[in-house]
Every structure is written in structure tokens, then in C-alpha cells.
């Protein structure tokens, strides 16, 4: 997957980025003493500069990875098989969530992000290293890694040190600070020299699974990534594939928003992986998944926060997050949401109309819906982004919204947090930001969209999942029954 290539100790001056010749002792441009730069440890992970080729963007049916737990538990009430016509789902929540995996494959982002502040010396410039793709362990998804202790935040997403306590990580002593390039990283995740926090695994995450791809980034103004996502694919009972993408945005004003979003995304995903193969109608399954996610977030409120943290400001509210999800099942496109994360539809033929498929639970949306303000006025208001619906123990009333669509032409489903749509609010703007070849290369397109948000200022965490929707030609051997 990732490209690794050996690189001479320094190809550029750490101080001014001037290219160096082999054997230089000082930078020819700025006079930086190159001998002061410590040799990079040999076993240091290296960074993927190029995106793994989206070779898996083949027909979805072949790319599907089948989940392990696809059977209906015999003790369960057999789930009724819904027809796509029985649309609005009823709540059947209360199902306990025990969840197997979904593998996330964080790949550090090669560009973008602010320069790290360096107290001691020059900033390490473009890094040439590559990090082997790693699978997030379950502990990280449970939020244990982030439990009240964000010692591992990143000053700079460009660089690739993984300070997170992944089991395979090398000994802490082997790591060198990404900010000053001279201090080692202490066990708490800070540089022993300049004190800068090291990047966490979650600061930038990417995943590509079959035809669906997702990218999440800390952005430029937040000190940690409070967004989370889950993508997976499974099969309906008839054998036709179903693709799931869930995106969650932690509510910053609540406590432990990062844990909330991770728990919600994971719980919703697990719920869908369980119900879809059983034949539950996808829209009903989405409804149940949102309820399950809500319960997972509610459960966090009972857990005590990290012991060493006495941060009154952050501990006033129960953990909370938004959720938006899309399911591509047969010829149906199901969306579900709570909060202000969105789904856009961008047809492959850009001459066709694009659309936003969700209605925000937000102050601005309510103002517009009530006819009190027009959209421009509402979104100009400072209260525009106050959300009126969320997952969390302090939510007034959980109102999962779901909708079903039956696209008649191929297109791209963009599932994203406001960190992206703030920079491409209207459906047209979003379509303009999506690269033309997004259908074929969803991961690259997702990276481009995150880059769009970072270029715009990156004021919030940015997360986007892309689900290419292919309309199969008639009689192509699809097992999907048409209604």
C-alpha cells in the first residue's frame, strides 16, 4: 500500500528548505549547521506521499469484503425482510451493541497544516518518510486511548510520528520530535526538548474499502480531531452488496467529544453490519443504527473522565456528537442523520442537478424552515451553527431522520461534517469541489475535499466519506430485486 523509500539523511535544509548536496556540513543558503540535526532512527516509520492507487475501485460486487459476523443469531427474533416500499422505519432500538472490528487505516497526510512552532531550532521541512499503514486497534476505537488525556495531539499533520500507544509502536525513546527535530518524545507524548505535543493517530485518518473511501483531519485550528468515521461493506440476504459510510462530529463544547464521535460511528456501523445481512430494510436499519449510536454516546456520560484532568470548562456537558450516514444497498440510497453533518449527491454527469439530501438540525435551518429568515441571513448569524439535535445524554429528544432515494443515474454520495461544508455550503459549491474523477478514485477525491477545507482555513475538524453510486445497466446479472 504505502510507498517506502530510503532517503539520504537530509535532502533539504531543516531551516530553510534549501536543497542540499551530499556531504554538505552547513546549509548553503542559511548556514544551518546540519551536523546538529540528529540522524533519523533507522526504524522510523515512513510516510506515504502518494495515495495508494485506487485499484479496488472495480465493480463493487467484487470489491466487497465480507464481514465476519454476517449471520443472524438464532436467539434473535428473525428480522423481517422489508421491501423497499415500506419506507418509514419504526424504532426497535435497545439492542445491545457488541461490536467487532472495523479497521481504520490511518495514513498521514503529506501536505497541508501549519508549520509547527519551534522554540529551539528550525522547523523540520517536508518530510520524506512514509508510515506503513496501520490498523487501528480496537482500544483506540473504544476511546481508551483518548480517555481524558489528550497528551498526544499533533502540532503538525504534515509529519508522521505516531506517538499513539499502538502496540507495534517502537520504544518511546526512539522517537524524535516532529516540531524541533532534536528532542526525543517522552512517554507522555511530548517532546523532551521543546515540549510540543506529538501527532496522534487520530489527527489524520484515511480509509479505503472497496469503492468507499473516507478521510478525516484535525484541521488547522483545533488541537485534536473530534470527528470520527466508519466505512464498511456487507451483503444483503440476497447476496447483493451494501456499502455503509458513517461520519460523526464531536460537539466541542461538551466533554470528551472525541470519544463520543468514535463511539457513535463505531456503534452505528456495528448495528448496520448486524441488521443489513439479516434483511432488515436499510432505512429501518439506519434508524436503528442511529438509536444504537445514541445509546453508545449516552453510555459515555456515566464513565468518569480522565483522572488527572481538572478542566471545568470541558466537563460541564455530557459527551455529544452529530451523526450522518449513508447506505448504498442495491439501487437504494438511504441517508440518516442527527445534527448538522450532511450528505450531498453529486451526479457523475455534472450537467445534471446536484442536491443536498439532509436537513440540518441547526438554528439556521430551523429559522429558514420557519420562514423567519432567508438562508443567507440565517447562515450569517453567529448562532447559525448552534445545533438543535445531537446524540448524547443531554439531548432533549432523539429524533433520527432518515430518507430513502432511488438514484436513476450514477453519482457520488458525499457524507461530511461541517468542517467541509462550511467551505462548500451549497450543493453546487460542493459539486465544484469534487474532482471529476471522484467516481473512479474516491480516496483521492476525499483527500482533495479535505484539502479544500484546509485551504479555506481548516477552522474545524474535517471529515468526508465518499460512496460512488453505480447504477447497474439492466440485466447485468444483479441479484437485486426491483420493486
Partner 1 sequence: MANFSKSTVPQFSVEVYQNAFLPEGGREVNAIVTVTSTGGGTTGGTPLADAGPSPGSGAGQGPGAAVVLMVDCSGSMDYPPTKMRNARDATAAAIDTLREGTRFAVVAGTHVAKDVYPGDGRLAVADAQTKARAKDALRKLSAGGGTAIGTWLRLADRLLNSADASIRHGILLTDGRNEHESPEDLRAAVESCAGRFTCDARGVGTDWEVKEVTGIAAGLLGTADIVADPSGLAADFTRMMENAMGKEVADVALRLWTPVGVEIRFVKQVAPTVADLTARRTEAGPRAGDYPTGSWGDESRDYHVCVLVPEAGIGQEMLAARVSLILPDPSGAGTPQTLSQGLVRAVWTDDMVASTSINPQVAHYTGQAELAQVIQQGLDARKSGDFDGATAKLGRAVQLASASGNQDTAKLLSKVVDVVDAATGTVRLKAKVAEADEMTLETRSTKTVRVKK
Cell digits of residue 258: 472525541
Q: Please count the other Cβ atoms lying within 10 Å of the Cβ belonging to residue 394.
A: 14
- The answer to the question of residue 383 lying near partner 1 (CB under 8 A) is no
Binding mask 448-467 for partner 1 (x = CB under 8 A): -----------x--------
Q: Which of 104, 193, 354, 417 binds partner 1 (CB under 8 A)?
A: 193
Name the DSSP class of 207. E
Stretch that binds partner 1, among 6-14, 19-27, 306-314, 382-390 (CB under 8 A): 306-314
Stretch that binds partner 1, among 9-17, 65-73, 229-237, 304-312 (CB under 8 A): 304-312
The Cα–Cα gap between 121 and 194 comes to 9
Nearest to residue 421, comparing CAs of 306, 337, 483, 320? 337
Query: Residue 234 or residue 463: which is nearer to partner 1 going by CB?
Result: 463
DSSP H stretches of helix in 4-115: 60-63
Can you list the positions of beta strands (E) in 266-374? 320-329, 332-338, 342-347, 355-356
Name the DSSP class of 450. H
- The answer to the question of residue 147 lying near partner 1 (CB under 8 A) is no
Nearest to residue 242, comparing CAs of 91, 76, 66, 56? 66
- The answer to the question of residue 223 lying near partner 1 (CB under 8 A) is yes
- The answer to the question of residue 385 lying near partner 1 (CB under 8 A) is no
The Cα–Cα gap between 257 and 278 comes to 32
Q: Minimum distance between the CB of residue 312 and partner 1, rounded to whole angstroms?
A: 7
Query: Residue 153 or residue 466: which is nearer to partner 1 going by CB?
Result: 153
Q: Which of 56, 107, 178, 220 binds partner 1 (CB under 8 A)?
A: 220
Query: Residue 163 or residue 243: which is nearer to partner 1 going by CB?
Result: 163
Stretch that binds partner 1, among 20-28, 102-110, 194-202, 447-455 (CB under 8 A): 194-202
Hey, which residues does 328 pair with through a beta bridge? 243, 333
Q: Which of 77, 313, 436, 477 binds partner 1 (CB under 8 A)?
A: 313
Stretch that binds partner 1, among 57-65, 80-88, 138-146, 312-320 (CB under 8 A): 312-320
Scanning residues 247 to 286, which ones bind partner 1 (CB under 8 A)? 252-253
- The answer to the question of residue 180 lying near partner 1 (CB under 8 A) is yes
The Cα–Cα gap between 367 and 145 comes to 39
Strands 355-356 and 342-347: antiparallel
- The answer to the question of residue 162 lying near partner 1 (CB under 8 A) is no
3-class DSSP state for residue 365? Answer: helix
CB-facing half-sphere around the CA of 349: CA atoms within 13 A: 8
Stretch that binds partner 1, among 89-97, 190-198, 354-362, 438-446 (CB under 8 A): 190-198
Scanning residues 343 to 382, which ones bind partner 1 (CB under 8 A)? none
Query: Residue 221 or residue 406: which is nearer to partner 1 going by CB?
Result: 221
The Cα–Cα gap between 187 and 427 comes to 46
Q: Which of 39, 85, 312, 370 binds partner 1 (CB under 8 A)?
A: 312
Contacts of 89 (CB under 8 A, 6+ apart): 281, 283, 284, 285, 286, 287, 288, 402
The Cα–Cα gap between 44 and 48 comes to 13
Q: State the residues that interact with partner 1 by CB under 8 A.
A: 114-117, 119-120, 150-151, 153-155, 180, 183, 188, 190-191, 193-197, 218-224, 252-253, 308, 310-314, 459
Amino acid at each position: 500500500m504505502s510507498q517506502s523509500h530510503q532517503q539520504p539523511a537530509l535532502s533539504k535544509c531543516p531551516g530553510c528548505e534549501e536543497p542540499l548536496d551530499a556531504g554538505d556540513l552547513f546549509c548553503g543558503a542559511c548556514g544551518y549547521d546540519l551536523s546538529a540535526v540528529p540522524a533519523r532512527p533507522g526504524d522510523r516509520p515512513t510516510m506515504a506521499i502518494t495515495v495508494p492507487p485506487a485499484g479496488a475501485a472495480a465493480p463493487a460486487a467484487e470489491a466487497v469484503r465480507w464481514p465476519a459476523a454476517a449471520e443472524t443469531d438464532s436467539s434473535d427474533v428473525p428480522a423481517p425482510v422489508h421491501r423497499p416500499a415500506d419506507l418509514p422505519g419504526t424504532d426497535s432500538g435497545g439492542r445491545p451493541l457488541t461490536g467487532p472490528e472495523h479497521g481504520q487505516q490511518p495514513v498521514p497526510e503529506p501536505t497541508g497544516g501549519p508549520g509547527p512552532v519551534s522554540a529551539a531550532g528550525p522547523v523540520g521541512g517536508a518530510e520524506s518518510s512514509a508510515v506503513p499503514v496501520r490498523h487501528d486497534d480496537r482500544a483506540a476505537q473504544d476511546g481508551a486511548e483518548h480517555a481524558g488525556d489528550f497528551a498526544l495531539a499533533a502540532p503538525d499533520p504534515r509529519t508522521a510520528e505516531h506517538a499513539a500507544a499502538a502496540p507495534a509502536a517502537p520504544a518511546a525513546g526512539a522517537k524524535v520530535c516532529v516540531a524541533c527535530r532534536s528532542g526525543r518524545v517522552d512517554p507522555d507524548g511530548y517532546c523532551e526538548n521543546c515540549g510540543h505535543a506529538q501527532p496522534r493517530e487520530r489527527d489524520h485518518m484515511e480509509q479505503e474499502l472497496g469503492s468507499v473511501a473516507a478521510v478525516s483531519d484535525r484541521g488547522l485550528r483545533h488541537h485534536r480531531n473530534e470527528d470520527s468515521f466508519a466505512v464498511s461493506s456487507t451483503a444483503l440476504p440476497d447476496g447483493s452488496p451494501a456499502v455503509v459510510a458513517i461520519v460523526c462530529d464531536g460537539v466541542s463544547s461538551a466533554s470528551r467529544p472525541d470519544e463520543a464521535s468514535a463511539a457513535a460511528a463505531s456503534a452505528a456501523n456495528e448495528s448496520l453490519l448486524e441488521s443489513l445481512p439479516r434483511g432488515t430494510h436499510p432505512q429501518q436499519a439506519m434508524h436503528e443504527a442511529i438509536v444504537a449510536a445514541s445509546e453508545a454516546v449516552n453510555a459515555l456520560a456515566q464513565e468518569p473522565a480522565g483522572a488527572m484532568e481538572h478542566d471545568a470548562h470541558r466537563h460541564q456537558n455530557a459527551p455529544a456528537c452529530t451523526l450522518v450516514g449513508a447506505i448504498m444497498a442495491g439501487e437504494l440510497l438511504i441517508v440518516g442523520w442527527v445534527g448538522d453533518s450532511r450528505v450531498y449527491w453529486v451526479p457523475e454527469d455534472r450537467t445534471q442537478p446536484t442536491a443536498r439530501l439532509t436537513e440540518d438540525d441547526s438554528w439556521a435551518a430551523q429559522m429558514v424552515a420557519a420562514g423567519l429568515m432567508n438562508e443567507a441571513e440565517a447562515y450569517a448569524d453567529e448562532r447559525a451553527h448552534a445545533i438543535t439535535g445531537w446524540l448524547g445524554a443531554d439531548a432533549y429528544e432523539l429524533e433520527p431522520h432518515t430518507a430513502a432515494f432511488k438514484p436513476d443515474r450514477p453519482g457520488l454520495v458525499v457524507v461530511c461534517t461541517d468542517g467541509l461544508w462550511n467551505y462548500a455550503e451549497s450543493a453546487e459549491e460542493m459539486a465544484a469541489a469534487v474532482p471529476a474523477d471522484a467516481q473512479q478514485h474516491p480516496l483521492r477525491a476525499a483527500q482533495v475535499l479535505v484539502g479544500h477545507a484546509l485551504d479555506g482555513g481548516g477552522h474545524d475538524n474535517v471529515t468526508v466519506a465518499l460512496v460512488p453510486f453505480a447504477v447497474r445497466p439492466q440485466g447485468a446479472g444483479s441479484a437485486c430485486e426491483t420493486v
